[in-house]
Structure 1
Amino acid sequence: MQPFVIAIAGPSGSGKSLFAETLCEEVRRDAPQLGVVLIKEDAYYRDQGQIPFEDREKVNYDHPDAIEQDLLARHLRELSAGNAVESPLYDYTIHSRQSETVRIEPAAVIIVEGILLLTDAALREAFDIKFYMDTPLDICLLRRMARDLKERGRSLDSVTTQYQETVRPMYHEFIRPSVRHADMVITRGGRNRVALDVVRNMLLSVSNDEAKA
Structure 2
Amino acid sequence: MATKRPYVAGIAGSSGSGKTFFLNCFLNHFAAHEVALISQDDYYIPANTKTQEENKLYNFDLPTAIDREAFYRDIDSLFSGHTIYREEYTFNNPAIKPRIRETRPAPILIVEGLFIFYYEEVNALLDHRIFLHADEEVALQRRLSRDLLERGYNGDDVRYKWVNHVMPAYHRYLLPFRDQCDRVIMNNTDDPQPIIAVTNEISAELRRNAL
For normalisation by structure 2, the TM-score amounts to 0.86
Kindly report which structure 2 residues correspond to 1:37-116, keeping only aligned pairs within 5 A, or say none.
Answer: 37-94=36-93, 101-116=100-115
Q: Which amino acid aligns with 1:136?
A: D
Residue 4 of structure 1: aligned partner: 7
Task: Evaluate the alpha carbon distance shift between residue 132 and residue 119 of structure 1 in structure 2; reply closer, same or farther with a 3 A threshold.
Answer: same
Give the structure with the larger helix fraction. Answer: 1
Distance 2:85 2:37 in 1: 14
Q: Distance in 1 between matches of 2:180 and 2:47?
A: 30
CA distance in 2 between partners of 1:67 and 1:18 (Å): 23
Q: Distance in 1 between matches of 2:149 and 2:110?
A: 26
The CA deviation at 1:178 is 2.5
C-alpha deviation, 1:171, in angstroms: 1.8
Residue aligning to 1:204: 207
Structure 1 residue 81 displacement after superposition = 0.9
CA distance in 1, matches of 2:166, 2:47: 19
> Which SS does the other structure have where 1:102 is aligned?
strand
- Residue 24 of structure 1 is matched in structure 2 by 27
Ranges in structure 2 where 5+ consecutive residues have no aligned partner: none
Tell me if the contact between 1:77 and 1:126 (Cα under 8 Å) persists in the aligned partners: no
Percentage identity across paired residues of the two chains: 27
Report how many residues are paired. Answer: 204
Which residue does 1:144 correspond to in 2?
A: 143
Moved over 4 A (4+): 97-100
What is the distance in 2 between the residues matched to 1:162 and 1:75? 29
Tell me by how many angstroms 1:75 deviates: 0.8
- The residue aligned with 2:198 is 195
TM-score (norm 1): 0.85
Inter-partner Cα distance in structure 2 for 1:199 and 1:147:
27
**Alpha-carbon distance between aligned partners in 2 of 1:70 and 1:184, rounded to the nearest angstrom:** 27
> What is the rounded CA distance, in whole Å, between the counterparts of 1:93 and 1:153 in structure 2?
13
CA distance, structure 2, for counterparts of residue 134 and residue 118 of structure 1: 15
Give the AA of the match of 2:65.
Answer: A
**1:91 maps to amino acid:** T
The whole-number CA distance in structure 2 between the counterparts of 1:54 and 1:41 is: 25
Report the counterpart of residue 211 of structure 1 in structure 2. none
